[in-house]
Chain A
Amino acid sequence: MRPLIRCALVVWCLIAALAGCAGSRVVKSDRTRIGDVYTVDPQIEWSRFHQGTIEIWTVDGPSLQAIYFFKGIEKDEPLIATIGIGDGEKRPLLRPDMTPNDIMEFIIDSLARQGYMQIETQALRPARFGRLQGFRFDFTFLFRDGLEGQGLATGALYNEKLQLILYVGTHQHYYPKHLEDVERIIESITIN
């Protein structure tokens, strides 16, 4: 089974399914390694889930707010694999010559296929990802039940793999609750 296919679909919203996919533990407030490429300072204590090549940190539960660390998406790989329905479709795949505009579209189209609705992007801009030149953008969306959601994405290509951090939560309360912590986590990225 390809790495991203491992239960990736359920990562996004279903807490119950998460328990079945991986164990959880708390991120201590000290330097934490994310994959092989970088480390961050978690700022606060998070519950931590592993899901194949994706790592998820949350305080109040992934359906309320979560940081998703995509630890190196390779070329010709999807952001999130879908299973079953839509085999005849062409999924968005990461291409080696993608610009940040293309990558934003790749991310947004992938999220839309996971049930994020009416996604509106804002302020695609250059941003440092550790010492790497990367990108960042913000977005709003609606959850399946109509609840307003908010998110940010930041990342960079490193050795032809996309290192990506998504922070997603409900517009009211849960996204803003830990936004400053997330900003500090992003600032603390140190590429190995």
Chain B
Amino acid sequence: MQMDKLEHSLKTSSLLVRDPTINRYINGVVCRVAGPHCQDIRVYLVRIPEFNASMAPNGVMQVWTGLLLRAENEAQLAYVIGHEIGHYLRRHSLQQWHDVRRKSSLFAYLNVLTRVVGVPGYAQDIGQLAAIGSLFKFSRDAERQADQMGSELTTAAGYDPREGAMVWKVLLKERDAEEEPSPWVFFSTHPPSEERIQTLERLPAEAPDQDRLEMIGEESYLDAVGSWWTMLLRDELRQRRFARTQVVLDRLAKRGKRLGELNYFWGELYRLRGEKDDKRKAEQAYQKALGYEGAPAETYRALGIIYLKSSDKAQARALLQRYLELKPEAEDRAMIKSYLANEE
């Protein structure tokens, strides 16, 4: 009953991503991995810029948007989903649930967890979503079993299981980049280790069927998630955890796609970080963005405002005018026009 209440709160959460296209895609991957168990699973895509997925014993799966920004392809998304389904099928979450219920009432427990786990910069209810996920903090043995099952499920679904190890490598890199690591929700329930990565690299080689498809699905993933990049990157930047965002941007740039947009976000990162020399770095990144197709109109505004604060007023005027030409419906049009008028 309490789980049903939690599912209801998830259903009505303002953070729920309701776009049917992206939900259809995520559900498709879940069903491909879950096979006959697909009908037991209800997937909720939640707009929180943290890497996380979790599964409750009643079949409720949460996928957070931070995972979509970090997975590089469909096989990596499938591995994370497969791992969580592994916990579910092995009844790990149910065992843990009974354990929690024995100890205390759910809501008292959640109240404590919300404070302990929390998501930096996010409100209490989001902390509570995180807390729901962290109810299911599994033993090392349970984690090994879920890794094994996740690997088997993704292999059976036709994905390249070696991508599972890549997920952990990438996450460790982000974590290690942060000077003061904040508590990662996913790490709190899924402790990362070199041993885990080695196991995931070894498991596929031990799998009996060598004629597997080994699909990576980079193109299909980009087709489904690419249109969400701008929102995902904005949400990520708003966290102001610049060191880890640099790792994210570096990885996205390696694909060699949408470089106008990515360089704009590099500029945004430097501008918001505001450390020594960041103003120059921001300017360079915006300039670089404008050298590629697809740089957002906001690049002209950002660069124009940098010049507005310097002595290069002519450049500022040209750039801000270009911004207004490209985005005549801009919500800050009146303000930009006032900057231009002041510089006449």
Interface residues of A (CB under 8 A from B): 82, 84-92, 95, 97, 99-102, 104, 109, 112-115, 117-118, 121-126, 135, 137, 142-146
Contact = CB atoms under 8 A, between A and B. Distances in A.
Interface string B180-202: 11100000000000000000000
B338 A126 contact: yes
Nearest 3 interchain pairs by C-beta:
A115-B123, A88-B180, A86-B120
Given A90-B273, A144-B124, A117 B331 contact: no
Given A88-B181, A92-B240, A112-B238, A125 B121 contact: no
B220 interface: no
- B15, B178, B274, B334: most-surrounded residue (chain A CB, <10 A): B334
Contacts of A113: 121-122
Contacts, number: 92
Contacts of A144: 14, 123-125
Contacts of B180: 87-88
Interface residues of B, number: 38
A124 B305 contact: no
A99 B339 contact: yes
B120 A102 contact: no
Nearest to B302: A101
A101 B305 contact: yes
A149 to B, nearest CB: 10
A82 B240 contact: no
Main secondary structure on A side of the interface with B: loop
Contact of B121 (A86, A118, A145): A86
11 contacts: A85-B120, A86-B182, A88-B181, A88-B241, A90-B242, A91-B240, A113-B122, A124-B332, A125-B335, A137-B331, A146-B13
Contacts of A118: 14, 47
B206 interface: no
Nearest to A88: B180
Given A112-B238, A144-B123, A121 B331 contact: yes
B125 A115 contact: yes
B150 interface: no
Contacts of B338: 125-126
A124 B335 contact: yes
B179 interface: yes
B308 interface: yes
Given A124-B331, A146-B14, 20 more contacts: A85-B127, A86-B118, A86-B121, A88-B120, A88-B178, A88-B241, A89-B120, A89-B240, A100-B335, A104-B332, A109-B240, A112-B121, A113-B122, A115-B124, A121-B331, A124-B334, A124-B335, A125-B332, A144-B123, A145-B12
A75 to B, nearest CB: 12
A88 B12 contact: no
